[in-house]
Amino acid sequence: MGIFDPWAGFGVTFNTMFRKTFTQGYPQKGKEKVTQPRFHGRHQLNRWPDGLEKCVGCELCAWACPADAIYVEGADNTDDNRFSPGERFGHVYQINYLRCIFCGLCIEACPTRALTMTNDFKLSDDSRTRLIYEKDDLLAPLLPGMEQPPHPRRLGDDEKAYFLGLPATGTPDTRTGSTAGATK
């Protein structure tokens, strides 16, 4: 150990003491903070291109959450009251941001990619009740061409036609089971 090793740590501290940070003058001055593409921010419940919800109410996200921040209640779809293309949908969906640790395990557990994380990081509030986001707060906005559920499936008559038609620009996998995943 050299005689100057302890002073090297002080050098790093001294160099960073006078550096301007993002929080100085935020949000009045400067540009908006740009996050990295894989940043774990606020959650979002996604929709299919016809406006139906991707969440099928399976509760896997709630089971995967180590902080017990997610609460899901599933319900059955009917022909008159359809919120998702499958048999079930997430009737009640809540995320408690007082508990959430933004680990992303809920995203990994979701089998339909219904739950994703946005780059929105402004979640502070002065009320505890406003930090419990309900389904309406989490649902992605309706884009042009989408219709507010409940409504019948618009992209196919049955579930197979509905899901094979997505995405509209892609082609379904027509390989047989023995050759799927094989490399040349």
Q: Could you tell me if 50 and 155 are in contact, meaning their C-beta atoms sit under 8 angstroms apart? A: yes
Q: Is 100 known as a binding-site position?
A: yes
Question: Which residues are CB-contacts of 81 (< 8 A; sequence separation ≥ 6)?
Answer: 150
Note the helical H segments in the chain: 5-17, 60-64, 105-109, 135-138, 159-164
Q: Could you tell me if 72 and 59 are in contact, meaning their C-beta atoms sit under 8 angstroms apart? A: yes
DSSP 3-state assignment of 109? helix
Q: Is 106 known as a binding-site position?
A: yes
| Residue 96: strand pairing partners | 132
Q: Is 55 known as a binding-site position?
A: yes
Cα–Cα distance between 59 and 71 in angstroms, integer? 8
Q: Is 108 known as a binding-site position?
A: no
Number of neighbouring beta carbons within 10 Å of residue 5? 8
Q: Is 110 known as a binding-site position?
A: yes
Known binding positions: 55, 58, 61, 65, 100, 103, 106, 110
Query: Which residues fall in the annotated binding site for [4Fe-4S] cluster?
Result: 55, 58, 61, 65, 100, 103, 106, 110
